[in-house]
Structure 1
Amino acid sequence: MIDWDSIDTVLLDMDGTLLDLHFDNYFWLDHLPRLYAAKYGIPEADATASLHGRFGGQQGTLDWYSLDYWSAQLDMDIPALKREIQHMVALRPFALEFLQQLHAGPCEVVLVTNAHRKTLDIKMSQIDITAWFDRLVVSHDLEAPKEDQAFWHALQKLHPFNPDRTLLIDDTESVLESARQYGIAHLLTLLQPDSQHQKRIDTRFPGIHHFDEIMPGTLPRIGAANSPT
């Protein structure tokens, strides 16, 4: 599926791509509504409906991904609540092996995430994979989400790459569509971002179940160690 000889740069999403999206879905769709209902003394069904409506109104924006925004909006310490269940953060199958193979090879490997910086810190305190990347890019630092063309232009200035020789792997189709519009040639999605949900069958982009389907070879990276220091 992937001609690795045609790839110089690999851009990797975090949630739903390298990490199981179950943590995020459970937190926002189940755990937080229960806590919100208890805090405000309302039925859980009402809390769920209210929160889902508010979340939907911000989808695809930086605020949607911002823990500070939702902490202020809901008057709840969202980072602290996430840390309470951070033991649920988990890598997707073969994700670590895939990162290790990429790191050993000639490609540049860049994490590009819409996750808030505090979210990244919480997850990396549980499963630290940062050493396998050449760079970590948080969309909040670039002042635009990956769904916005401004993100890709800002990324190009921060970390120049050739779109024709770049692979983006992401579980969000609106992000992949934005990358396609920018000109990124190689696009791939995940068919089961959340291990507790059924595989998706209606994706508009080529998809894989697990990373063992596209494992690169182990060409040595010139001037770099084959493992993090």
Structure 2
Amino acid sequence: MTMPEWQEIDTVLLDMDGTLLDLHFDNYFWLEHVPSKYAEHHGLTEEEALAELNKSFVGLRGTLNWYCLDHWSELTGLPIAELKRDVQEKIGFRPHVEDFLDTMKRLGKRTVIVTNAHRDSVNLKMERTGLDKLVDHVISSHDYQEPKESQAFWDHLQREEPFDKDRTLLIDDSQAVLESAEKWGIHWLLTIFHPDSQKAPVTDSRFPGIHHFDEIKF
């Protein structure tokens, strides 16, 4: 496995959900809490609700609407941003994240969260964890109206955060996002094998990766 050469890296771009924060919150919210509320709201069984929602998922993955709470509120008739607060106790750090971010600060690396999460979701998670105080900047793809899967996202990002793509590391659990970043030219790429603490690790990645941040050596 090729690990980062820290003397060759100035900027560390970090995904949020599944990288810094446990993806269990998001999986539980979308696969259990929302179908339950949708069933209740529309007089369906939970199985019928999930089947209906799954139809809406088709073709949306990787687009901005896939990540847009306003879109899902309109589609479902539910106050999606408000519903997230119902289960906010499930929001939490992945193992060793805070130690890693502290080390990044000590080494003088610029740390920037780049997330596809809607700003309402970002704000809730920052309120719950204080994560924004541990990094230099937080950027949502909704700020640019382009998802990270799009090449245009990285163009926007570099205009806001002028970084050297050869001296930049991206850590992300999404293979599609890593592929997009690779195509755009970011040199250092690392994936997360265990984004959801309640699910089995993922190992089918062509990118080097870690299960937890304590595997990164300095």
Q: Same fold (TM over 0.5)?
A: yes
1:135-167 per-residue CA deviation (whole Å, 9 max, x = no partner) reads 111100011000000000000111110111100
Alignment of 1:55-134 (within 5 A): 55-134=57-136
- Is 1:4 paired with 2:6? yes
Distance across 2 between alignment mates of 1:202 and 1:158 = 33
- The equivalent of 2:161 in structure 1 is 159
Structure 2's unaligned 5+ residue stretches are none
Distance across 1 between alignment mates of 2:84 and 2:106 = 33
CA contact (8 A) 1:101 1:215 kept: no
Aligned CA-pair RMSD = 0.9
- The equivalent of 1:219 in structure 2 is none
- Of 40, 43, 47 in structure 1, the residue corresponding to residue 42 of structure 2 is 40
TM-score, normalized by length of structure 2?
A: 0.97
Read off the aligned partner of 1:9 and give its amino acid letter. Answer: T
Please state whether the residue corresponding to 1:57 is helix, strand or coil: coil
- The equivalent of 2:146 in structure 1 is 144
Read off the aligned partner of 1:54 and give its amino acid letter. Answer: S
Structure 1's unaligned 5+ residue stretches are 217-229
Distance across 2 between alignment mates of 1:197 and 1:49 = 22
- Is 1:29 paired with 2:31? yes
Please state whether the residue corresponding to 2:58 is helix, strand or coil: helix
Read off the aligned partner of 2:183 and give its amino acid letter. Answer: Q
Distance across 1 between alignment mates of 2:119 and 2:203 = 32
Alignment of 1:211-226 (within 5 A): 211-216=213-218
- The equivalent of 1:222 in structure 2 is none
- The equivalent of 1:50 in structure 2 is 52
Once the two structures are TM-superposed, the CA of residue 215 in structure 1 deviates from its matched residue by 4.6
Which sits farther off after the overlay, 95-104 or 165-174?
95-104
Distance across 2 between alignment mates of 1:50 and 1:57 = 14
- The equivalent of 1:17 in structure 2 is 19
1:81-129 per-residue CA deviation (whole Å, 9 max, x = no partner) reads 0011101101000011111111122211111000000000111111111
Distance across 1 between alignment mates of 2:100 and 2:109 = 12
- Of 169, 177, 180 in structure 1, the residue corresponding to residue 171 of structure 2 is 169
Once the two structures are TM-superposed, the CA of residue 52 in structure 1 deviates from its matched residue by 1.8
- Is 1:206 paired with 2:208? yes
